[in-house]
């Protein structure tokens, strides 16, 4: 899922842009006083978590909204989910206390591959395998640190949805409302294959593994170009990148768009975090250690909304409908978009309509379950 969409020579409209300074609001840091043990039984010491809060937390009164970000996101949800979160958006700091934390393994302040190991050198490709379950457990440690007793609404899309689902299974009593967007119960073979192809591009960069956080920038750019094909759709590319000049034989807009998106990410992210987080996504399987996926999903007690995107090939509708069928009393809605998986960042009017109906109207307006664009 792509957060920095401003493109060169493109007609993309209304797509959020990640600022060149990805932490544009004041962030906070939580430092764990004890080692963190990953799901794979690896020990991480001196972990820190960078997070943002918006609004005032009043125990027993504030409605807490907790957003979980996707693969290359950060803790400033007002920056990358504009339209849904913001000063005057649906989720705003006047009405809610909002929290978003940068995930373990990322490069926006939370402990990740660029942080030092015991020998003082950056861990880089020696950073351990982590999972969405690890991320969820770290979110819960942060929740306790902040002093939040319960979360009114937990929301996430893509990898963010995987974290949110794990957290709702791990701590079912503290999540009141759960909103899962364009996500799944177990990452698919198709999704894993896409991620591996991206990692192969990074591994193939001769600078990968040389010991510097800036290694493999060319490989990372190629990886992002590959990823864009899974984040968007045929109709989306035709709508924004198709040529009108029948005589053109080279220099296509679609080509420059792919290069631009690759270069853009390479300037703000690092290859080691990209590998770490894509592997975390691959590892996602709520059934691991819980008898079965269905058994795990039966543990969710939160009032649940599952949202799919009709053009999403990376997380197809069938995956969200499985969640709806497997989580007790879950509601399902589908949004219509030309932007594929990235529709969750673009179709905010539809999302607001659906979420408002779910939270405040007992989902009475949800039929038909597809909210068409005007």
Q: Is the pLDDT of residue 16 over 90?
A: no
pLDDT digits (tens, 9 = 90+) for 41-51: 999 999 999 99
Q: Is the pLDDT of residue 227 over 80?
A: yes
pLDDT digits (tens, 9 = 90+) for 239-266: 999 999 999 999 999 999 999 999 999 9
Quote the pLDDT of residue 367: 58
pLDDT digits (tens, 9 = 90+) for 76-112: 999 999 999 999 999 999 999 999 999 999 999 999 9
Mean pLDDT of 295-313: 98
* Angle formed by the axes of helices 217-231 and 271-283, nearest 10°: 40
Better pLDDT: 46 or 367: 46
By three-state DSSP, how is residue 153 classified?
strand
Catalytic residue annotation: 158, 312, 341
Mean pLDDT of 229-247: 95
Quote the pLDDT of residue 117: 87
Identify the CA nearest to 111 among candidates 128, 96, 97, 94. 128
Quote the pLDDT of residue 14: 39
How crowded is residue 295: how many other Cβ atoms within 10 Å of its Cβ? 13
Quote the pLDDT of residue 10: 31
Mean pLDDT lowest among 19-23, 235-239, 298-302: 19-23
DSSP per position, 80-132:
HSBTTBSTTSSB-TTT-EEEEEPPTT-SSSSS-TTSB-TTSSB-GGGSPP--H
Identify the CA nearest to 236 among candidates 257, 250, 252, 210. 257
Decide: 97 and 77 in contact? Cβ < 8 Å.
no
Q: HSE (CB half, 13 Å, CA atoms) of 245?
A: 7
Quote the pLDDT of residue 45: 94
pTM: 0.91
Quote the pLDDT of residue 362: 84
By three-state DSSP, how is residue 165 classified?
helix
Both tokens of 141, joined, read: 């440690």
With residue 227 as reference, give the H or E element that holds it.
helix 217-231
Cα dist from 214 to 3, 67, 122, 220, 283, whole Å: 20, 29, 12, 10, 26
Q: Is the pLDDT of residue 274 over 70?
A: yes
Question: Could you tell me which residues are beta bridge partners of residue 332?
Answer: 306
Q: Is the pLDDT of residue 7 over 60?
A: no
With residue 256 as reference, give the H or E element that holds it.
helix 253-268
Q: Is the pLDDT of residue 20 over 90?
A: no
Quote the pLDDT of residue 369: 53
Decide: 51 and 142 in contact? Cβ < 8 Å.
yes
Mean pLDDT of 203-230: 97
Quote the pLDDT of residue 30: 98
Q: HSE (CB half, 13 Å, CA atoms) of 305?
A: 28
Please report the domains of the chain, with CATH numbers, ordered by start residue: 28-187+286-371 (3.40.50.1820)
């Amino acid at each position: 899922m792509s957060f920095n969409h401003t493109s060169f020579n493109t007609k993309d409209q209304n797509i959020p842009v990640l600022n060149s300074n990805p932490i544009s609001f004041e962030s906070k840091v939580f430092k764990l006083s004890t080692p963190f043990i990953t799901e794979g039984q690896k020990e991480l010491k001196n972990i820190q978590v960078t997070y943002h809060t918006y609004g005032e937390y009043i125990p027993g009164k504030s409605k807490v909204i907790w957003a979980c970000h996707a693969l290359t996101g950060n803790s400033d949800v007002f920056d990358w989910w504009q339209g849904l979160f913001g000063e005057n958006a649906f989720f705003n700091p006047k009405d809610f206390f909002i929290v978003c934390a940068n995930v373990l393994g990322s490069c926006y302040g939370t402990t990740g591959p660029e942080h030092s190991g015991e020998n003082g050198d950056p861990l880089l490709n020696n950073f351990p395998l982590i999972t969405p379950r690890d991320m969820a457990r770290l979110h819960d440690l942060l929740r306790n640190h902040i002093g939040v007793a319960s979360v009114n609404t937990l929301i996430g899309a893509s990898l963010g949805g995987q974290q949110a689902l794990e957290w709702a299974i791990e701590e079912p009593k503290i999540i009141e409302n759960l909103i899962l967007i364009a996500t799944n119960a177990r990452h698919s073979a198709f999704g894993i294959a896409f991620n591996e192809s991206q990692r192969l591009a990074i591994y193939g960069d001769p600078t990968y593994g040389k010991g510097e956080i800036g290694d493999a920038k060319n490989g990372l750019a190629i990886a992002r170009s590959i990823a864009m094909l899974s984040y968007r759709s045929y109709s989306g590319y035709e709508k924004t990148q198709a040529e009108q000049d029948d005589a053109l034989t080279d220099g296509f807009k679609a080509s420059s768009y792919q290069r631009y998106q690759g270069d853009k990410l390479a300037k703000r992210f690092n290859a080691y975090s990209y590998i770490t987080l894509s592997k975390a996504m691959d590892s996602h399987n709520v059934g691991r250690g819980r008898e079965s996926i269905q058994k795990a999903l039966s543990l969710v007690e939160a009032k649940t909304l599952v949202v799919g995107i009709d053009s999403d090939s990376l997380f197809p509708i069938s995956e969200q409908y499985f969640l709806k069928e497997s989580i007790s009393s879950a509601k399902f809605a589908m949004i219509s978009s030309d932007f594929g998986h990235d529709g969750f960042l673009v179709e905010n009017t539809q999302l607001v309509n659906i979420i408002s109906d779910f939270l405040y109207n007992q989902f009475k307006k949800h039929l038909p379950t597809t909210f068409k664009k005007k």
